[in-house]
Amino acid sequence: MKFTCNQQSLSKALNTVSKAVTSRTTIPILKGILLEASNDNTLTLSASDLDLSIEKKIEVSVEEEGSVVVSARLFSDIIRKLPNEDIEIEELENNNIIIRCLSSEFMIVGLPAEEFPNIGEINEEQKISLEKELLKEMIKKTSFAASIDESKGIIVGVLIEMEEDSLNMVALDGFRMAVTRENMKNEENRKIIISARILNEINKIISETEEQKEISVILDEKKAVFLLEDTRIVLRLLEGDFIKYKDILPKENKVKVKVSRTDLLNSIERASLLAKEGKNNLIKLSIFRDKVIITSRSEEGNVKEEVFIEKDGTDLDIGFNSKYILDVLKVVTDSQVVMEFNTSVSPCLIKPVEGNAYEYLVLPVRISTN
Amino acid sequence: MKFTCNQQSLSKALNTVSKAVTSRTTIPILKGILLEASNDNTLTLSASDLDLSIEKKIEVSVEEEGSVVVSARLFSDIIRKLPNEDIEIEELENNNIIIRCLSSEFMIVGLPAEEFPNIGEINEEQKISLEKELLKEMIKKTSFAASIDESKGIIVGVLIEMEEDSLNMVALDGFRMAVTRENMKNEENRKIIISARILNEINKIISETEEQKEISVILDEKKAVFLLEDTRIVLRLLEGDFIKYKDILPKENKVKVKVSRTDLLNSIERASLLAKEGKNNLIKLSIFRDKVIITSRSEEGNVKEEVFIEKDGTDLDIGFNSKYILDVLKVVTDSQVVMEFNTSVSPCLIKPVEGNAYEYLVLPVRISTN
């Protein structure tokens, strides 16, 4: 293998595929990046942690085709620190490679390409096209609510549900649930579950690609492939049945409150400063006439915040872990939101003033009544 | 105590004085900030870790004078998160304080002002005036070389030496030494030693003050006071004799090399990528004809970098911990520097092409000769 390439384009490609390199593995080959130079003057870079694989192609000038695996960390560090000039990369007989650029010359130890896991082909069962900005927003508004506890099974994943007229995403962790919906015609109904961690990585890669507005997603039974520009992201779908989330969403709520999202966000953030003891972040919301009064207390003091509301229903006192309410208010962008309550021990629903683009359910914390 | 003030100005003042609050203390009062409201409509904020004390005055509207100590962390967090509006602060009888701003009301627990350590008066023995930018640069170019090991005694400090025609700063840690000099007329000769950690904090505070160009420094036997705008920084001088650094500086060097600072910096940074094993960062410099060849090797590979030089003297091979050379090349701003050597086991001197504004001494690492 021998090729010449531009430092910037190689460094950018390494940055993208490195997102699939895990530091947690004990398998040396998975700490590597597969370089494949082919006679059509293309270099394909691939990395995989077995759950997530990323492949990116860049234009290079190939003198001799071939392939080798190099340490992701060391190779990326070297390329990033080289000047923005032509870099010549040559494989020696023992998988080692030589990197030359102006007056710099590196020799680094490689591994045989044959040992690299096969990202594999996919049987195209279903193909959908998604608007990039829409996908980014839906992931951002949903994935934070998934469980981060790997022992909790399927709820580390986000449910992506293609229905006749909409695309829905759902995540929950037992304390809160996020549901987002977008109008979209789908030819076939389908439910898939993707790890929230992987969706967040995909969001980072999407954010770095500027040109393309549409992303193609190809599905088969066990895998999904996201195609964008010269990057192919292959990921393993999670297997199992997701919680029947529609059964959890409350049908009817007695108390409805319309409130400024930023006023409520700022007030709860301040109230949380005195809610850090015991890590439960307990705040109390008292819905009283035309206000919500937010209170919290600790050994260090206490706080009272008031925010004006438009109310439909009775007064109510209810306690929350402030983090779960703040998480919602931070990802939503509307100037006003609606909060719905039934009793002080039933979940709160946060939704838009109009439509059903999102619904968030947050479980309350029982508070003493004095 | 009762006063009203602007959120921005209080928040900025808290940010400054908080730099003297240590998290390492077990003495509760030292985690606090002393607030003193006086009838001339001034609020004085003070914090101290006993080695370093910072005092800042801001204009407020005082209704009732008084003083109290509040938790630095909690009080700063609250003020920072309040809107940019008027804030009313009122002390209750039990040292607790009420903070009111629009529809927010906090009560936080305070401590009696009498328990706060007295920053103390200073007997003005000597007063000097320093240009702010000059002081910043000298601290930056020297303090990094001081020892960070508190058990090493006086070398955690920076020697500040006022001589007839110059101001000198010196720091060393046993592996390298930094000497910086500026032309300055001093009426009295004087040597003081200030902890490098405290000098770095002073540099941060200086960087935040924009208006003032000159800083007054008042010295007595045990303390120094830095005066800038409405801020007074009082610090304890370190006691003891500093190393006689002038005896360490080599008088004559056999090999003199003039080199581009950035070329050398970039090459050594790249060579260091393969020098991380065993944490000794070993690189070898081979001064050979009109080049310095930098090499390094590890189990992961090896590297060779070449940088053109202008040389006066013989060829030489010498090993270094690359970190110590990089630290110097990063704080210096000249486009070219001079490196002087004697033998492969004697220290390297780095200095400007012209003048003696700085001299850095770096001990070599013994390398095998094959």
* Model pLDDT for residues A330-365, shown as the tens digit of each residue: 999 999 999 999 999 999 999 999 999 999 999 999
> Residue B278: what pLDDT?
61
Tell me: pLDDT of B34 over 80: yes
Q: Is A129 on the interface with B (CB under 8 A)?
A: no
Q: Do A81 and B269 touch (CB under 8 A)?
A: yes
Q: Do B273 and A96 touch (CB under 8 A)?
A: no
Tell me: pLDDT of B246 over 70: yes
Residue B295 CA to its chain's centroid (Å): 33
Q: Do A104 and B305 touch (CB under 8 A)?
A: yes
Query: How many Å lie between the alpha carbon of A367 and the closest alpha carbon of chain B?
Result: 20
Nearest to B106 among A81, A83, A303 (CB): A303
Q: Is B84 on the interface with A (CB under 8 A)?
A: no
Q: Do A274 and A227 sit in the same domain of this protein?
A: no
Residue B325 tokens read as 């050379």
Residue ending a domain, choose from A73, A96, A115: A115
Q: Do B276 and B258 sit in the same domain of this protein?
A: yes
Q: Is B108 on the interface with A (CB under 8 A)?
A: yes
Q: Do A106 and B302 touch (CB under 8 A)?
A: yes
Q: Is B106 on the interface with A (CB under 8 A)?
A: yes
Q: Which residues of B touch A301 (CB under 8 A)?
A: 74, 96, 106-109
Q: Name the residue range of residue B87's domain.
A: 2-115
Place of tokens 């950035």: B262
Band of residue B369 on the pLDDT scale cut at 50, 70, 90: low
Q: Do A106 and B301 touch (CB under 8 A)?
A: yes
CATH number at residue A319: 3.10.150.10
C-alpha dist (Å) from residue B282 to B279, B319, B325, B330, B363: 8, 7, 11, 18, 12
The chain B residue lying nearest A297, using CA atoms, is: B107
Q: How many domains does chain A have?
A: 3
Q: Which residues of A touch B103 (CB under 8 A)?
A: 267, 305-307
B367 assigned to some structural domain? no
Residue B163 tokens read as 């001589």
Band of residue B22 on the pLDDT scale cut at 50, 70, 90: confident
Helix (H) or strand (E) holding A330: helix A322-331
Q: Do A92 and A23 sit in the same domain of this protein?
A: yes
Q: Is A81 on the interface with B (CB under 8 A)?
A: yes
> Residue A169: what pLDDT?
98
Query: How many Å lie between the alpha carbon of A82 and the closest alpha carbon of chain B?
Result: 7
Q: Do A104 and B302 touch (CB under 8 A)?
A: no
Q: Do B270 and A82 touch (CB under 8 A)?
A: yes
Nearest to B81 among A82, A109, A269 (CB): A269
A141 assigned to some structural domain? yes
* pLDDT (mean) for B87-107: 97
**Residues B248, B170 contacting (CB under 8 angstroms):** no
> Angle, nearest 10°, between helix axes A196-208 and A132-142?
140
Nearest to B108 among A109, A300, A305 (CB): A300
* pLDDT (mean) for A274-281: 78
> Residue A334: what pLDDT?
97
Q: Is B255 on the interface with A (CB under 8 A)?
A: no
Q: Is A301 on the interface with B (CB under 8 A)?
A: yes
Nearest to A74 among B96, B269, B300 (CB): B300
> Residue B231: what pLDDT?
92
Q: Do A273 and B74 touch (CB under 8 A)?
A: yes
Span B50-89, pLDDT tens digits: 999 999 999 999 999 999 999 999 999 999 999 999 999 9
Q: Do A81 and B270 touch (CB under 8 A)?
A: yes
Q: Do B78 and A270 touch (CB under 8 A)?
A: yes
> Residue B78: what pLDDT?
98
A369 assigned to some structural domain? no
Q: Is B305 on the interface with A (CB under 8 A)?
A: yes
* pLDDT (mean) for A148-153: 90
Band of residue A368 on the pLDDT scale cut at 50, 70, 90: confident
* Beta-ladder partners of B99: B89, B106
> Residue B24: what pLDDT?
83
Q: Do B104 and A304 touch (CB under 8 A)?
A: yes
Q: Do B182 and B254 sit in the same domain of this protein?
A: no
| Separation between Cα atoms, residue A246 and residue A306, nearest integer Å | 33
Q: Do A229 and A263 sit in the same domain of this protein?
A: no
Tell me: pLDDT of B12 over 90: yes
Q: Do B303 and A270 touch (CB under 8 A)?
A: no
Test mutation, A303, A307, A326, chain B, max B CBs within 10 A? A303
pTM: 0.92
Q: Do B233 and B295 sit in the same domain of this protein?
A: no
Percent of chain A with pLDDT over 90: 84
A301 assigned to some structural domain? yes
Q: Is B107 on the interface with A (CB under 8 A)?
A: yes
> Residue A40: what pLDDT?
97
B242 assigned to some structural domain? yes
For the residues of B230-263, what is the DSSP string, one character each? Answer: TEEEEEEPPPSPPP-HHHHS-S--SEEEEEEHHH
Percent of chain B with pLDDT over 90: 84
Span B211-237, pLDDT tens digits: 778 999 999 889 999 998 889 999 999
* pLDDT (mean) for A248-275: 95
> Residue B277: what pLDDT?
66
* pLDDT (mean) for A8-14: 97
| HSE-up of residue A167 (Cα within 13 Å, Cβ side) | 18
A367 assigned to some structural domain? no
Residue B352 CA to its chain's centroid (Å): 22
Tell me: pLDDT of B35 over 60: yes
DSSP-based three-state secondary structure for A191: strand
Q: Do A283 and A353 sit in the same domain of this protein?
A: yes
| Separation between Cα atoms, residue B343 and residue B341, nearest integer Å | 6
The chain B residue lying nearest A296, using CA atoms, is: B106
The more confident residue out of A146 and A277 is A146
End-to-end CA distance of chain A: 76
Q: Do B157 and B210 sit in the same domain of this protein?
A: yes
> Residue A278: what pLDDT?
62
Q: Which residues of A touch B305 (CB under 8 A)?
A: 103-105
Size of interface A-B (CB pairs under 8 A): 84
Q: Do B19 and B108 sit in the same domain of this protein?
A: yes
Q: Which residues of A touch B107 (CB under 8 A)?
A: 301-303
Nearest to A301 among B109, B270, B303 (CB): B109
Q: Do A270 and B304 touch (CB under 8 A)?
A: no
Query: How many Å lie between the alpha carbon of B338 and the closest alpha carbon of chain A?
Result: 21
**Residues B23, B215 contacting (CB under 8 angstroms):** no
**Residues A46, A36 contacting (CB under 8 angstroms):** yes
Query: How many Å lie between the alpha carbon of A94 and the closest alpha carbon of chain B?
Result: 13
Q: Which residues of B touch A107 (CB under 8 A)?
A: 301-303
Tell me: pLDDT of B170 over 60: yes
Q: Do A27 and A14 sit in the same domain of this protein?
A: yes
Tell me: pLDDT of A370 over 60: no
Span A28-82, pLDDT tens digits: 999 999 999 999 999 999 999 999 999 999 999 999 999 999 999 999 999 999 9
Burial of A311 (0-12, 13-18, 19+ CB in 10 A): buried
| Separation between Cα atoms, residue A130 and residue B148, nearest integer Å | 54
A108 assigned to some structural domain? yes
> Angle, nearest 10°, between helix axes B196-208 and B7-17?
160
Q: Do B105 and A274 touch (CB under 8 A)?
A: no
Span A87-108, pLDDT tens digits: 999 999 899 999 999 999 999 9
Q: Is A307 on the interface with B (CB under 8 A)?
A: yes
Nearest to A108 among B106, B267, B301 (CB): B301
For the residues of A270-320, what is the DSSP string, one character each? Answer: HHHTT--GGG--EEEEEEETTEEEEEEEETTEEEEEEEEEEEES--EEEEE
Q: Do B96 and A301 touch (CB under 8 A)?
A: yes
Q: Do B78 and A305 touch (CB under 8 A)?
A: no
Q: Do B107 and A302 touch (CB under 8 A)?
A: yes
**Residues A242, A170 contacting (CB under 8 angstroms):** yes
Residue ending a domain, choose from A89, A115, A141: A115
Band of residue B279 on the pLDDT scale cut at 50, 70, 90: low
Q: Do A222 and A281 sit in the same domain of this protein?
A: no
Q: Which residues of B touch A274 (CB under 8 A)?
A: 74, 106, 108
B61 assigned to some structural domain? yes
Q: Do B155 and B196 sit in the same domain of this protein?
A: yes
> Residue A201: what pLDDT?
93
Residue ending a domain, choose from B201, B229, B246: B246
Residue B17 tokens read as 């004085």
Span B108-141, pLDDT tens digits: 999 999 999 987 778 888 888 999 999 999 999 9
Query: Average model confidence (pLDDT) for chain B?
Result: 94
Residue A192 tokens read as 């898939």
Span B183-215, pLDDT tens digits: 999 888 999 999 999 999 999 998 887 777 899
Test mutation, B90, B100, B107, chain A, max A CBs within 10 A? B107
Span A113-138, pLDDT tens digits: 999 998 777 888 888 899 999 999 99
Q: Which residues of A touch B105 (CB under 8 A)?
A: 303-305
The chain B residue lying nearest A110, using CA atoms, is: B300
- Nearest-5° Cα angle at B89, B85 to B94: 160
> Residue B306: what pLDDT?
98
Residue A46 tokens read as 């691939």
Q: Do B301 and A83 touch (CB under 8 A)?
A: no
> Residue A369: what pLDDT?
56
Span A297-343, pLDDT tens digits: 999 999 999 999 999 999 999 999 999 999 999 999 999 999 999 99
The chain B residue lying nearest A70, using CA atoms, is: B300
* pLDDT (mean) for B24-45: 94
